[in-house]
Structure 1
Amino acid sequence: MMLVKMYSHMSNNQRRLIDDAGFGGLLNCRCSQLFPDLCQWLLDCYDPESSELVLPGRGRIPITEAIVHRVMGIPRGSKLIKCEIDASASSSMQNEFGSTKGNQPKISELLNSLKMNKSANPKYLRTWALFAACSVITPTFSTKVSPRLFSAVVDSKKKSVNKIGAS
């Protein structure tokens, strides 16, 4: 996984920044590759109506918010994160990454930005949160960052970092 490969480029201050934001559990992930056959089998076993993995001849495993929090270390709470397009948040993030209007940054550009940024600052946290979302939390086959994720990391009214992981 690209996220795990990023860890060797992170300083202790950057790790602390991510941990303080509530995502420290993702820093403990050591799985550097996914196995497509296993992933497909798990997807085939997943029952979205019951939110369970139904393992033939073995039983059921509920997939709840609490379980995902415990296994992946992803924050949970009552605050909903809206994945919707916010023009102001999109504009702010496009400016931050030097993208032109209508062009979203590539996930590889996030990776390069993270490797080059040696500071533990709000830009690093926003970039890391977007990278984690694109590579682990809400992955797609796209090579570009979805503009729907920008409003989750930018408070468009203040042009600042949302309190990531707040409940």
Structure 2
Amino acid sequence: MSCSCSDEEELLRSHNFNLSTTIGLRKHTRKTNRELSAEHKASHKKQCERIGCANAYSDNNESKTIKANKFTLETRCAPDRFCSLVGNLSEDKKNAIRDIGFGSLLEIQCGRLRRQLCRWLVDQFKPKCNIIELYGQNLKLCHRTFSDVMGVKDGGIPIQLGGPSENIAELRDIFQSTVKGINIKTLEDIIKQEDKTSWIFKVAFTLFALATLLCPTSGFISHLFLHPCNDVLNVKSLNWASFCYKWLAKSIGKYKNHETTYVGGCLLFLQVR
């Protein structure tokens, strides 16, 4: 008896990833199942059966299961924080966000990251090759897939995190930049209080989107991001998809090489991919 598509989906769920199967995943598993050899299908079936036994055992060992579930991925990606702020913005402020090319981010609706699922996806991702391996199939990832999933675009101008310090001196004062960088809470407060037409509002939102969703690293964002955000008229012309995808791939590479204890970058991309 071969392992069905639903068996493959259950295989992911049985690892306690709290997987909510998307339409894309269902299509992928159906296609993958058709292409698998009989031996490969039989192997999946046995694995499903083994995991089923393990789950039955763990049901009788609740404390062990809870302890095992604590081994989830550490990340600074916070789509719940991003969506919470965006959901309370006025329509006028949302229109201002669309003007700078980030309107697609307003459509994101999600709760917290499924960290165990993300950990498994990170394990399957090979940043040097830009592929993610699922059921023996290698799926190619790049800035184009990032753009398709997250909605941010490449406008044609490369992003440079650098430039004359005097160019961003005023912004560093406005955003109260310290040696740690710019506090995300400061950005939240400015976004809530600033006028919708203000260029400060647009810069603050861009930084907030980067710090919580697209290129997160910590509770602060480096003042170096002020350089590409300084000219709000050209923000939509920058290569955000390429930059954010490379940031994620590099962050996963550092994590897998044990250079960091957490994963920076937009893990939401992998989760909804």
Compute the TM-score of the two structures, normalised by the length of structure 2.
Answer: 0.54
* AA in 2 matched with 1:164: V
Partner of 1:76: 154
Q: Deviations over 1:18-51 (max 9, x none)?
A: 1121111111100121121112111111111221
- 1:163 aligns with 234
Structure 1 residues 135 and 129, CA gap change in structure 2 (3 angstroms) = same
State the alpha-carbon separation in 1 of the partners of residues 234 and 114 from structure 2: 33
Q: Residues 101 and 25 from structure 1, CA distance in 2 versus in 1: closer, same or farther, beyond 3 angstroms?
A: closer
Distance 2:109 2:120 in 1: 21
Q: What amino acid sits opposite 1:166 in the alignment?
A: S
Q: Tell whether the 8 Å contact from 1:17 to 1:120 is kept in structure 2 after alignment.
A: yes
Larger relative contact order (Cα-Cα within 8 Å, sequence gap ≥ 6): 1
Distance 1:2 1:85, change over 3 A: farther
- Bigger fraction of residues in helix: 2
- Any conservation in 2 of the 1:152–1:162 contact (CA below 8 Å)? no
Separation of aligned partners in 2, 1:37 and 1:100? 34
Deviation (angstroms), 1:71: 0.8
Contact 2:131/2:140 (CA < 8 Å) preserved in 1?
yes
Q: Deviations over 1:130-157 (max 9, x none)?
A: 00001111111x22221221111014xx
Q: Say how many residue pairs are matched.
A: 159
Cα RMSD for the two superposed structures = 2.0
Calculate percent identity across the aligned residue pairs. 22
Task: After TM superposition, give the deviation of residue 17 of structure 1 in Å.
Answer: 1.4
Segments of structure 1 that go 5 or more residues without pairing to the other structure are 156-160
Alignment pair present for 1:116 and 2:193: yes
For 1:74, the aligned partner's letter is: V
- What is the TM-score of this pair, normalised by structure 1? 0.85
Contact 2:177 2:183 in 1 (8 A): no
Distance in 2, Cα, partners of 1:147 & 1:86:
12
Conserved in 1, the CA contact under 8 Å of 2:171 and 2:226?
yes
Tell me if the contact between 1:86 and 1:150 (Cα under 8 Å) persists in the aligned partners: no
Q: Distance in 2 between matches of 1:95 and 1:51?
A: 39
Q: Structure 2: which 5+ runs fail to align? A: 1-79, 239-273
Larger displacement relative to structure 2 (14-23 or 121-130): 14-23
Residue 182 of structure 2 contacts residue 221 of structure 2 at CA under 8 Å; is this kept in 1?
Answer: yes
